[in-house]
A and B are shown apart, each in its own frame.
Chain A
Amino acid sequence: MNWWTSLSKQDTTHERLLGVLLLTLLTLAITFVLPPVADSQLAGGAAIAIVILGLSWLTGWSGQISLGNSGFMAVGAYAAGIWAHHHSTTPLIFTFVLAVVVGGFSGLIVAIPSTRLRGPYLAGMTLAFSAAVTPLAQNFTSVTGGEGGIFMNSLVTPKWFTHFFSGQNAAISANAQWTADLAIVTAGVAFFFMANLFHSRSGRAMRLVRDNDVAAELMGVNLARTRSMAFVVSAAFAGLGGALYSLLEASVRPETFPLTLSITLLTLMVLGGIGTLSGAVIGGIIYSFSANLVAHVNSLTGVNPTSNLGANMQGIIFGVLLILTMLFAPRGLVSLTNPIRRLLRARPHRATANEVD
């Protein structure tokens, strides 16, 4: 039990690395078992989990709310798409770094006026941003390809990887699993970075700003800079997630990033649990299999999936879930595991004075 307690407490960078590594390896192992379709769904979920994590950091740790993260996603996706379209031979890692940098920069631009705003003003401002991104992408046709978007080369599965597979659909299974594994590893790196950020000096400063900004200011925390930093990180995560998402789809189009995507992101974050790593994982998993979930609900209620109601079932379910979670379990699905965690932590291991928090 001792290894688990130390893991779940995640005291040091070393232990956090171990925790994320274990989770990543476990997920990678799962992709070997799942059918190709589920693998591709999981890949999309991993990309969305990165975005949710960025949003969760912003909302849970800095107390700012954003309805603009679908816009940041679009910025990252377009940065990656435009670059990959013209320089198709660039290594993937470079495309990702580019998406992170450009996404973060767009966050900075939104943050500069937004850090002077609170709650509702901020939410409205970011909503206005994400509402403007789609028309901008549609209008600047020469750069963004307009309505049709940009096509990228699909991800190439390396030769050594395909050797694991045999049989009729070997190539298809190999492709699906390679993209899923790639997405999961990327998500793992992002989660490791965020786990460290949560426990860093900035993370603590962020929580203080959220809980009592006057006290934070007295402690010497620069409010505007801290709040902007939260935005930049959140947008960088959204940019990375957006780039990954569009690489999986091998195209960037304006309609991939509608306003409703921001609502979906918010729902998944709240459902999982605001401000936690595991909440973002849960959100990503729910996103991966939301289509199955909706199909299940449709068949349970006897709704024809091709009818109007069936086609809009996902929007209805997500909206209702968001409302119900916020009203009755505002800490999300993660809070359901709290009793188990308490049980695991109850065992005294290294009782030191600094454990009182």
Chain B
Amino acid sequence: MTTFLSSSFMHNIFGGLAQGVIYSLVALSLVIIWQSTHVLNFAQGAMAMFATYIGMTEIDRGVGYWWCVIISVVVGMALGGATERVLIRPLYGKPEINPIVVMVGFLGVLEALAAAIWTSTTRNITEPFSQIYFQSNGHLVFLSSFVIFQILLAIGIMLFMAGLFRFTKLGLQLRASALAPEVSRLLGVRVSRMLTIGWILSAGVGAIAAVIIASGSFGLFPTNMDGIFVAGFIAAAVGGLESPIGAVAGGLTIGLAEQFILAYWSPNVAPLGGIIILVIALMIRPQGLFTKNSSRRV
């Protein structure tokens, strides 16, 4: 068993899963926004990065790690709600290019602002758990307490969101207003409030992903979520942008695929891993692998 756990195969599995859960979180947050407002939020990564900067720099003032995490998530949620109210609300009913362009602009503003306020040098945050790999009988097992924390936290968030959407009254209202806004409004659901809540929840999930990334070896810098956003988007698109389960599965697949391409093929091709998966998935089912019914705009 020891040789198996410390084999390079398991190394790649652990590494891929650790990265994959982050992609899954970002993909999940994109799906929540997509479901509520049919906007693909290009600033999702940057908003999370910005919130993480605001929260985690409090460490410098002696605030404890977990308080900083809470501040980051709360700031992220506030930013999400404000964005929906101020930037997205005027664009409902406009061509679908308009919100994309606005959010791309917001992405540019946030990254430039973050670089202006906190400089673009990488900032390392003292992680709450050790990054040192475990050993068993003198062999390295490529798991550290930080990786386990990362995976467990991500799974916890996913389960929490699943429970919220499935079993609570709020979740029912959120799903109803996404599915049939007119009917929901007639039945007394405050649809416009639900849209804002969708953005708030999504931004919260995104902020947690960014906090985990910033606490790890990757560190915090203004563009640190760019690549992760792209991978998260690919994961969500593979699943069809509509399906939370598809997003999670897509994220794990891309995390593992990247790791295995890196290890067994060539590190040079690794950046293309996600695109290759996306192209193949879209060739098979353009509407996404996890979308139940296909619809077409006429």
Q: Which residues of A contact B (CB under 8 A)?
A: 59, 63, 65, 67, 113, 116-121, 123-125, 127-129, 131-132, 135-136, 139-140, 214, 259-260, 263, 266-267, 270, 308-309, 311-316, 318-323, 326-327, 330
- Residue pairs across A and B with Cβ atoms less than 8 A apart, 20 shown, are A65-B97, A67-B42, A125-B237, A128-B233, A128-B274, A135-B270, A135-B271, A136-B268, A136-B271, A259-B226, A266-B105, A316-B112, A319-B105, A319-B108, A319-B110, A320-B109, A322-B104, A323-B105, A323-B106, A326-B98
Chain B residues closer than 8 Å to A125, beta-carbon distance: 237, 275, 278
- Contact, CB under 8 Å: A127 / B112: no
Chain A minimum-CB-distance residue to B106: A323
A residues less than 8 Å from B234 (CB atoms):
124, 128
Q: Which of A124, A214, A309, A322 contacts B102 (CB 8 A)?
A: A322
The dominant DSSP class at the B interface is helix
Size bin of chain B's contact surface: 35 or more
Q: Distance in Å from the Cβ of B269 to the closest Cβ of chain A?
A: 8
Interface residue? B159 (CB, 8 A): no
Do A266 and B233 touch across chains, with their CB atoms under 8 A apart? no
A117-B286, A263-B108, A311-B115 given; 17 more Cβ-contact pairs under 8 Å:
A65-B97, A65-B101, A67-B104, A113-B279, A121-B282, A127-B233, A128-B274, A128-B275, A132-B275, A315-B108, A316-B116, A320-B105, A320-B109, A323-B87, A323-B106, A326-B105, A330-B98
**Contacts of B39 on A, CB cut-off 8 Å?**
120
- When distances are taken between beta carbons in the complex, the residues of chain A under 8 Å from B275 are 125, 128-129, 132
Among residues of B, the one whose C-beta sits closest to the C-beta of A134 is B271
B286 touches A120 (CB 8 A): no
B116 touches A308 (CB 8 A): yes
Q: How many residue-residue contacts, CB under 8 A, span A and B?
A: 140
Interchain CA distance A318-B104 in the complex, whole Å: 11
CA distance A270 to B99 in the complex (A): 13
The 9 A-B pairs at the shortest CB distance, nearest first, are namely A315-B112, A322-B105, A319-B109, A120-B40, A319-B108, A139-B268, A135-B271, A312-B116, A119-B96
Q: Which residues of A sit under 8 angstroms from B34, Cβ to Cβ?
A: 120
